[in-house]
Structure 1
Amino acid sequence: MLCSPLETVQKLCARVCVKKPSSQFDFLFTAVMPKGLGFFDYIKAAFSAKPAGMPLSPNWIFVAAAGMLGVLLNPGFLLLGAGLELGYLLTLGNNERFRRVVNSRELASEQVSVQAMLSGLVAKLSPDARERFGRLQSRCKSVLALYQAQLSLDTEVVTRHSESLNRFVWIFLQLLLTRETMQTTFRESRNAPRFQSLLEDEIADLEQRLKRGTASDELRRSLESKRDILKQRLDIYAEAGNKLHYIDAELERIEQQIELLREQAVVSRDSSAISVKIDTVSSSLGETSEWIKEQQNLFGLMQEGSSSAPQILGQRSSAYEG
């Protein structure tokens, strides 16, 4: 079976020993390479790479021309073309600048997926909650702008602060979603005393029926099971109010903390002190994050993508083609 030119080149590349990059190159490559991007991903990108504005890759034209010359004129052109193609792919695929281009494009693609996911989550919020979330986003962006303008922090420090603020906003969004899910589930909690009283009366009635001892074994097991379920519902209703109060308190805490960071960025010139403050606050949100995960497991909320904070405050873009 004939293989495509790309498959042929991949098989040849697998047999070639590539010189290991320098330690500095290793650091840059590791720092910018998206998760899961491997050597053959760069080879595939090199095979289809084209300058911006060109409808076709020049490499495709070369492969087609070499194939036609080999078929129509001399098979030697096939070997010559394969050798040149292999050299081209290995050279471009291991080029630091080209890998940066591919990484940038991959990150931009991932960011589009993240933004679509975030848009879907935000759409689940009520209008008031969406407005509240938007306000927090704007405040966090203003904090980052102040860090760059007022404190003149370098890119690495700003990136680290951006990751921490992203985590704040992500936890804030999860709290809002958990809050609305609980409010929907426990909508009756507005009349919690009446519902709790009804549940308590029904449990008492079941207890009386069980004490009479006139029920058959099958009926007794059914009544005991129903009683246990009602007790669990009663416990959940009792917890609902406390959980909602906790969520409200955490939402307000994050909002106030962002305001504090914003005010500190305005009046303080000590970037190290602000860094310590952000790290401390970020660590303190760990308990909140764990609590949110417990509630998500309980209500089946956001089963995907909730383990780490996505890029919410900024969006990478790329003008490169491939």
Structure 2
Amino acid sequence: MSAGRYLWAAFNARPLGMPLPPNWFGLAAFGLLGAFVSPGFWVLGAGLELAYLALLARSARFRRTVDAQQAQPADPAGQRYEATLGLLDTAQRQRQQTVEARAREVLQLLSRSPLMASHAASLEQLVWLNLRLLVAGQALNVVVDTAAQDSAELQRQEEQIDRRLAASELGDELRRSLEQQKQVIDARQAAHAEGLRRKEQVDAELQRIDQQIALIREQTLLATDEEQIGLALNALTSSFNEASRWLNDQRDLLGVLELDEQQALPRYVLQGQGEKPPQGESVKQ
């Protein structure tokens, strides 16, 4: 890398967490001082700027950071995966990492045969599906927990409203208000019941994915000759087709998770590194 590129990187260097390079603020400050106080600040600012750029551009650590940033292309799959993974709490993240570890073992087994390796992308989709289901399940947990906390109180309020509605001396406005309250309570109870149903469905599908990955592993281990490879391929195709069918049927449940796109897993997940590789060291002044 040419010295000019290091100088440009130094000019725009931004420590971790800062929205703008501090060097820009320094130049602006000396520019204002030169304009409103004394032009001598322009000369002083230019000298300090050259010294700053030369010192930082010659730093071996800074050069390694710049080289690493230039060498690493953008990884949309990794960025999306990390963003989705970041929605999970610690327990759910560990659950996802367990599935990833099992999938890596299966991918290594699939790589023994070019025919079977063609199914690697489908296995990656199962891992993605597991992650999305964990995110959906975590969101549904909020609804389920709220239902557990409020169920008895909502029932008590509804019974109280029913007793008041049974009174004949109620005015029209009060009766209308009570009926609307009852409708809201009924709607909340229906939402709680639907949330519980969906949570049970998500939990069942997460268990199914665990079992399906285990089945794929066993089928692959049994494929020791061409005939068995053919049988295993048929079983794998059936398993993956079933997963895809379920995926397409759950748009109402998982529509917000953009399930139309086929997503490959980030390379660092397939290699078992466990976390996203750093995008270079943070620049420190």
TM-score bracket, normalised by the shorter chain, equals 0.5 to 0.7
The Cα shift of 1:258 comes to 0.6
Q: Counterpart of 1:158?
A: 117
TM-score (norm 2): 0.60
Q: Quick one: which amino acid aligns to residue 171 of structure 1?
A: L
CA contact (8 A) 1:178 1:292 kept: no
1:124 to 87, 97, 102: 87
Deviation sequence 1:271-310 (CA, Å, 0-9, x none): 222222222122222454246432345xxx54xx432231
Q: Is contact 2:165-2:175 (8 Å) kept?
A: yes
Question: In the alignment, which of 310, 316, 319 is matched to residue 263 of structure 2?
Answer: 310
Question: Would the aligned equivalents of 1:147 and 1:158 in 2 still touch at CA under 8 Å?
Answer: yes
TM-score by length of 1: 0.54
1:201 aligns with 2:156: yes
Percent of pairs identical after alignment?
Answer: 22
2:263 alignment partner, SS class: coil
For 1:265, the equivalent position in structure 2 comes to 220
- The answer to whether the Cα contact below 8 Å between 1:175 and 1:292 also exists between their aligned partners in 2 is no
CA RMSD between the two structures: 2.9
Whole-Å Cα distance in 2 between the matches of residues 310 and 124 of structure 1? 18
Say if 2:67 is the partner of 1:114. no
User: Are the counterparts in 1 of residues 84 and 132 from structure 2 also a CA contact under 8 Å?
Assistant: no
Among 183, 188, 198, the alignment partner of 2:141 is 183
Tell me how far 1:187 sits from its aligned partner.
2.0
Q: Pairwise mapping of residues 27-46 of structure 1 onto structure 2 (< 5 A)?
A: none
Residue 229 (1) aligns with residue 184 (2): yes
* 2:263 maps to amino acid: P
Q: Which letter does structure 2 place at the counterpart of 1:168?
A: L
Please tell me the residue identity of whatever aligns with 2:114. Answer: L
Alignment-mate amino acid for residue 264 of structure 2: Q
Equivalenced residues, count: 199
| Match in the other structure for 1:250 | 205
Equivalent-residue separation in structure 1 for 2:163 and 2:84 (angstroms): 47
Contact 1:164 1:279 in 2 (8 A): no
Unaligned residue ranges in structure 2 (runs of 5+)? 5-71, 271-285
1:172 corresponds to 2:130: yes
Give the whole-Å Cα distance in 1 for the aligned partners of 2:80 and 2:172. Answer: 52
Secondary structure of the residue aligned to 1:125 is: coil
Aligned counterparts, 1:25-64, within 5 A: none
Contact 1:265 1:274 in 2 (8 A): yes
Unaligned runs of 5+ in 1: 1-52, 57-107, 317-322
Is the contact made by 1:137 and 1:169 (CA closer than 8 Å) also made in structure 2? yes
CA contact (8 A) 1:182 1:240 kept: yes
Residue pair 2:133, 2:206 contacting (<8 A) in 1 also:
yes
User: 1:241 aligns to what?
Assistant: 196
Asked if the contact 1:166/1:313 (under 8 Å) is kept, the reply is: no
Counterpart selection for 1:285 from 243, 246, 259: 243
Cα deviation for residue 173 of structure 1 reads 0.9
Provide the rounded CA distance (Å) in 2 between the counterparts of 1:307 and 1:218: 49
CA–CA distance in structure 1, aligned partners of residues 219 and 139 of structure 2: 35
